[in-house]
Amino acid sequence: MTKISVETYIEAVECYLTSNESKRRVGERYGIADMSFRVLVAIYEQHGRKGLIAPPKTTGEFRINLVEWKQEHHASITETCAHFAFRSISSIAIWERIYFTEGKQTLLARRQGVKPHRPRKSTTTAETPGKREFIVADTERRLKKIGSLEKATKRQISEVIIALKAKYKLADLIDALPISMSVFQYWQKKLSQPDPDEELKSRITLVFEAHNGNYGIPRVTPEVRAMYAAEGRQEPNHKRIQRVMHDMNVHCQKYGKRTRKYDSSKGPSGKKAKNRLSRRFMTDRPLQKLVCDVTELQAGNGEKVYLEVIPQFTIQVQHPDD
């Protein structure tokens, strides 16, 4: 913002006094605020050019006299500025506040252009001994599945704070936990909104439970997408389904590469079956001889799954549901 010179002030005031234009119009032409221009006109009318050219020196006694005169005469700021030929409207408001809140001596000792030093107030509330430890202990107890507070995400910490707000002050919770107020407010607002994946989560759970937990992400995804396609709705992206399933901690735990992998170093495991066929595979009786592939799929819960059974009478793969 460009500083306006005293000559411009005088020119603007004299232009107003010698014309029929309003103060607002003249002030806008010279870039002077309406209230400030009213003060300049009042000073010029009472003190002439000298009142604008040579403003009074702002000493401690001058500040006190100005505030006391204003209160004694119940004068407005414009009248006070005109009486003392003083142009700064904001300074008068500040001096009045200091005079009535901090006393006359503070205003008397105030140096021009220097803000008084005030001790900075702490934004956190005074903690009672052990309060921080109680908050951390309550938080870690609620985050027991994660393992430690250091591994918790900002969302999880925010959820704990929302749950503990009824027990502790919010300022104490923010001070004790590794999260800022702005981050907490962000997650508080986000958690209060409805979950956009609520319907998708219910459908994933439906498919997962329908197959007894045997389906993982690769097999759940096409079935969920087919459900949306059958309704003529937009199918969710496979990455979205994967993300939601990870958030829900829904995945097949029965089969894994580590459990299926054969390791000869472990030696023979289990009981070896007797060779009852002795390579006599052919039969003329249905369901007398049933064979399958030697591949064995070990599930995490101790179950074992084999490939489809082949009856030697028909030499056809028999589906488990048949």
Kindly state whether residues 19 and 57 are assigned to the same domain: yes
pLDDT at 6: 84
Predicted TM-score (pTM) of this structure: 0.39
Same domain, 188 and 217: no
- Give the model's pLDDT for residue 46: 86
Q: Are residues 215 and 175 in the same domain?
A: no
Tell me whether residue 105 is in a domain. Answer: yes
Examine the domain organization and report whether 218 and 313 are in the same domain. Answer: no
- Output the pLDDT for position 221: 93
Do residues 207 and 237 both lie within one domain?
Answer: yes
241 shares its domain with 294: no
Of 52, 77, 109, the one marking the end of a domain is 109
Domain presence at residue 125? no
Any domain includes 124:
no
Residue 126, pLDDT score? 43
Q: What is the CA radius of gyration of the chain?
A: 42
Q: Is residue 91 domain-shared with residue 170, that is, in the same domain?
A: no
> Please, where are the H alpha helices in the chain?
6-17, 23-30, 34-47, 49-53, 60-73, 77-84, 89-101, 104-109, 131-142, 154-164, 170-176, 181-192, 198-210, 217-230, 238-248, 257-260
Same domain, 42 and 15: yes
**Domain housing 303:** 253-262+274-322
pLDDT of residue 243: 92
Is 294 inside a domain boundary? yes
Residue ranges, the chain, pLDDT below 70: 1-2, 111-129, 145-147, 255-263, 269-270, 293-302, 305-308, 312-313, 315-322
Residue 31 has what pLDDT? 86
Same-domain check for residues 219 and 302:
no
Non-local (6+) Cβ contacts of 57 within 8 A are none
In a domain, 49, yes or no: yes
Amino acid at 83: H
Residue 125: per-residue pLDDT: 47
Quick: pLDDT tens for 231-284: 999 999 999 999 999 988 888 877 666 655 666 777 776 677 788 888 888 888
Query: Number of structural domains, the chain?
Result: 4
- The verdict on residue 268 lying in a domain is no
The answer on 100 and 31 residing in a single domain is yes
Sign, Cα dihedral of 62, 65, 71, 72: negative
Quick check: is 119 in a domain?
A: no
pLDDT on residue 224: 93
Query: Do 63 and 139 lie in a common domain?
Result: no
- What is the predicted pLDDT for the residue at 220? 92
Q: Is residue 162 part of a domain?
A: yes
Task: Specify whether 188 is located in the same domain as 203.
Answer: no
